Structure 1
């Protein structure tokens, strides 16, 4: 009886909050007072937050809970939408209708400004009378222009024709997001984080902004990415770019050699959509958007920074920061829809912060991702951005508004970084007594060094030694067999691939990895094993702190220290080295699901242990010069640089 009553209480609470939100939308309906609208939207956001919390946790009412969310979402929009009237806080509807009228008369909408004498016969008091920025060519991309024409053809010539279309786009976006939630096994009521969000109700149903098309395209991107339909995902991203240009930043961030169809489809569709309009010249198609960006600076961090550095320097610094962020995000994993949603929030959220002009409805771009992953800081920003409308009262923004907008967001970001360094520790079962311990030695053309390494390993009391030959052209395999080691032949090149092949070939409880060149001293294995065997760590690293002369070249030491410092900064692990000599529990290794097949494999093991809450220990060991043969990395500039870049990329990818 208890759980059922609890579900009923949650459902009743959500219904009450929904009815209060509905009543508030009816009060705000058609009111053009900036003060009333801002106060109303902030009140609505305060009511929305507990509703969002309930829906995120799940009501436990099955389809009834989802039906409650959807019915009230439709009610909010019906209350906010007034057909036949202009928007209470924006004149953009007039520009949409004007562009559609121009196109309907066979004129390229990018050719003339609304103030051009050529278009005088098209003017009227209803549409043209409210057109903003009449001296600028249209700034809307071809996808938006096509939507304006479609709305005119289907819903008529009125100001609100586009709003009807945008409401349908919202419905499609909600359906796509429900599908994503269903495939993830999440509560379907979480779609309320979009469907009930006051910003979506106000800026689409009431003010009729074209950003609804970007919302639909981004929801489609999440849905198709989840299904790994990358060609369709490319089409979805093209749709987002053709509705609002900002999502173009996602293209370089999501590029990957395994997702060629994604990039090709996106670029091709975007180019094809622009081609018919380029006959008037590139400046007319893109120039007005750039000119408006140069002329207006409002709402974002750019005006704040410009007040200190001057506008040119501020813009240069922010563009550089955004470029670095795109490069950083491009190195991250995007295998799951969660990872994609976090990237959408990071890149599109950063775009809002650095844009020369920030309007409240731009934050609609973030809402589809907020349905998938929790991000309280970004959610807060989407709720308080209506404060920017206060600029309309005195043609300037009150000085306290930026602090209210951005200080809580900055505080959340700092907390988020700090929290990543304090992940809860995962527990593992006790090891068998005695545990089976196997050494894995990846080797490529190490016939000279391997005999000594294997002879030293034979004195360490290990249950088995496996040498993984990664395609040697010398006698590596034969030497290993003569020394009593089991040889695993791995045809594909790659340090990580060799280590993974060795691990897959045995049934050890604890695995020891060390290089086959003799630089790792087998006599240090007991020290490295100790934290794992005593269950004080899942992974133990043999940090090369006692160096034999010539054991590591200066660039090797510098590169390892840099990667270790980055791991320490991002994950809070107090490491001084990223060594090859390590011991790890088999159950921990299986949990990590390592995918890096090159020299980034040891780094991936460390950062994934940190992400999984698995304890990592570091013990100092002696490092020696290689005992024969030729190094594949040390002493060679390009291989060393490539290995270092791979290690850094792995840390960034999982940050």
Structure 2
């Protein structure tokens, strides 16, 4: 190993070690994180920079050596970071106290779904009228630190079993239930890290992507510091990716059911997995998996069944769906646009909630239909599904993103991991000094940051996808005018995607463009925009797709095209009125900016103008027709300088 590479290796290991120390400093310093949010976020931000540098600097080392070495380092760093956060007192979220409450009830052999915490305290005090003041004060203090003490618990039976195990461990081994419970979450999440690494290897992706989840500050603090049930379900979600195509469908269904018993929101991935199974084999496999999943969930709830179970659960879920809202920029913006003003106008939840639920369902349907039966596509669609759920949810706590961040690691979506960091800014909302204007500013920052980093990674991919889709549309329009054996010139070829489709149809194709943006294996000829360095009659057909309005001298381009090819197939944007021309100019400039092209003068014409130009060059127009007369008016024109004869 060279001195430089050894230095780089040492630097990123130091960055990881410093991040552990920073995380530990929060645990050892007073006050607790929620009482010093600014300091806590500063530590998180510095830790994120160090860890990002560590992942980037150690990328070659992590992925270039033995797999066991990389997995050991990633998992070791994950454990160290989580244990450092575990040592901090609970303050970021109060959910863990409800877990402890439920766990004590289950460990005592009672039903946690039967009563609200306040109802239980009143009942117990009524049964034990002689209870001491000290015990009464302790019960009331425990009650007051719970969230929503007047609502029934919504945590499913699998999570309840884990809660109870922490209570039992505290009774047998000493300590407090909260610490044992968070330790269980840490260990469960460490297993998820190992499973992510295994899934990446199965998908033949770099194992280093596992560090996006393993070392992510949000994951570290929400699992080790806050303690959340998502940690129980993340690993099961990853198992579903590993099982795809290699396990019996009933086993897949069982894992789906178990993930739902750990955290109900993880049912989001169930339709994705079902359709992936269907695409790989038979519809029967998906149906078996679905039936088994439902059976596992029902079996999990059966020990807790009583007459009002469903009613109590529905009431509590309605609280989250219709009452609570937190750090949800889209929700607040939509509510404002609908005319809602807090304390002034009537609520608009009855309109907004169904609309957001419909948008969530539409996103999940799109992600589901995107399946092709592969693990890679399943992982990517999980990112889409989770993102849709979070974006349209009126409540967006940071820990809700654990499933998204795990899916992002599987899919190699580093931008989603970066976007997730901004969710931790929502802890500023607990600071008494932060009012509504500051909250809005934070949500704007979160939204802009997420859009910027995701666009940074996904923008080029989305543009390429759109260009290929548009190329298919162009080819479908041109194909009827191509004859078997035609030699084709794609003039103004851009990236070459249209020419590639023509070549796939069995034609010999050459691309021509003023600058080389070719992204295909086809030969490319560059020219000055006026004179083509090609022989007379070298081609049978010249395709000129939405190019002429970019040419400084479109008549010269037509003349050159007619010289080197016998037949011209022209796709062109046209206008009919002056405002129409201004609109298509704006749209064209906007689209080309996304492709990295600077704005330039455009030379649009009417249909009649192009027909006259062709006839002036002794080209006979064989046919022309509208391809669209909406906002974007465009036509196809076929002309031959030798009439209808070849």
TM-score bin, normalised by smaller chain: 0.5 to 0.7
CA distance in 2, matches of 1:118, 1:351: 39
* Cross-structure match for 1:191: 210
TM-score (structure 1 length as normaliser): 0.63
Question: Does the aligned pair in 2 maintain the 1:344–1:369 contact within 8 Å?
Answer: yes
* Cross-structure match for 1:25: 23
Kindly provide the CA deviation profile for residues 544-600 of structure 1, in whole angstroms up to 9, marking residues without a partner as x. Answer: x99xxxxxxxxxxxxxxxxxxxxx99x99xxxxxxxxxxxxxxxxxxxxxxxxxxxx
* Cross-structure match for 2:464: 422
CA distance in 1, matches of 2:302, 2:193: 31
Question: Does the aligned pair in 1 maintain the 2:422–2:450 contact within 8 Å?
Answer: no
Question: Does the aligned pair in 2 maintain the 1:66–1:188 contact within 8 Å?
Answer: yes
Deviation at 1:233, TM superposition (A): 3.0
Secondary structure of 2:297 counterpart = helix
Secondary structure of 1:407 counterpart = helix
1:147 aligns with 2:162: yes
Matches within 5 A, 1:410-559: 410-414=451-455, 416-422=458-464, 524-527=483-486, 532=503, 533-534=508-509, 536=511
Instruction: Give unpaired runs (5+ residues) of structure 1.
Output: 427-513, 515-519, 547-567, 573-617, 623-655
* Cross-structure match for 1:304: 333
CA distance in 1, matches of 2:454, 2:270: 24
**Residue 85 (structure 2) aligned to one of 73, 80, 83:** 80
**Counterparts in 2 of 1:86 and 1:102: CA distance versus 1, 3 Å:** farther
CA distance in 1, matches of 2:638, 2:460: 27
Q: Tell me which moved more, 179-188 or 284-293.
A: 179-188
CA distance in 2, matches of 1:621, 1:236: 62
Deviation at 1:6, TM superposition (A): 5.3
**Counterparts in 2 of 1:522 and 1:402: CA distance versus 1, 3 Å:** closer
1:288 aligns with 2:320: no
Matches within 5 A, 1:262-281: 262-279=289-306, 280-281=308-309
**Residue 95 (structure 1) aligned to one of 93, 98, 110:** 98
Question: Does the aligned pair in 1 maintain the 2:212–2:414 contact within 8 Å?
Answer: no
Instruction: Give unpaired runs (5+ residues) of structure 2.
Output: 129-134, 341-347, 469-475, 490-501, 512-519, 523-540, 546-567, 570-590, 596-635, 641-646
1:70 aligns with 2:40: no
* Cross-structure match for 1:470: none
Secondary structure of 1:526 counterpart = coil
Matches within 5 A, 1:151-166: 151-156=166-171, 158-166=177-185
**Residue 223 (structure 2) aligned to one of 204, 215, 222:** 204
Matches within 5 A, 1:100-119: 100-116=103-119, 117-119=122-124
Matches within 5 A, 1:192-341: 192-225=211-244, 227=246, 229-256=248-275, 257=278, 258=282, 259-260=285-286, 261-279=288-306, 280-300=308-328, 301-309=330-338, 310=340, 311-312=348-349, 313-341=351-379
**Counterparts in 2 of 1:619 and 1:9: CA distance versus 1, 3 Å:** farther
Q: Tell me which moved more, 337-346 or 301-310.
A: 301-310
Deviation at 1:334, TM superposition (A): 4.0
Secondary structure of 2:166 counterpart = helix
Kindly provide the CA deviation profile for residues 301-342 of structure 1, in whole angstroms up to 9, marking residues without a partner as x. Answer: 212221222433332322221121122122112422221111
CA distance in 2, matches of 1:388, 1:274: 34
CA distance in 2, matches of 1:219, 1:150: 24
* Cross-structure match for 1:350: 388
Kindly provide the CA deviation profile for residues 261-314 of structure 1, in whole angstroms up to 9, marking residues without a partner as x. Answer: 332222221222223334133121232122133211111121222122243333
* Cross-structure match for 1:132: 147
1:47 aligns with 2:47: no
Question: Does the aligned pair in 2 maintain the 1:278–1:285 contact within 8 Å?
Answer: no
CA distance in 2, matches of 1:145, 1:621: 74
* Cross-structure match for 1:560: none
* Cross-structure match for 1:636: none
**Counterparts in 2 of 1:620 and 1:422: CA distance versus 1, 3 Å:** farther
Kindly provide the CA deviation profile for residues 346-374 of structure 1, in whole angstroms up to 9, marking residues without a partner as x. Answer: 11122111112111111111222222222
**Counterparts in 2 of 1:21 and 1:621: CA distance versus 1, 3 Å:** farther
CA distance in 1, matches of 2:4, 2:464: 33
Secondary structure of 1:70 counterpart = helix
1:393 aligns with 2:421: no
**Counterparts in 2 of 1:55 and 1:137: CA distance versus 1, 3 Å:** farther
CA distance in 2, matches of 1:250, 1:619: 48
**Counterparts in 2 of 1:255 and 1:346: CA distance versus 1, 3 Å:** same
Relative contact order higher in (CA < 8 Å, ≥ 6 apart) = 1
Secondary structure of 1:159 counterpart = helix
Secondary structure of 1:160 counterpart = helix
* Cross-structure match for 1:438: none
* Cross-structure match for 2:419: 381
TM-score (structure 2 length as normaliser): 0.64
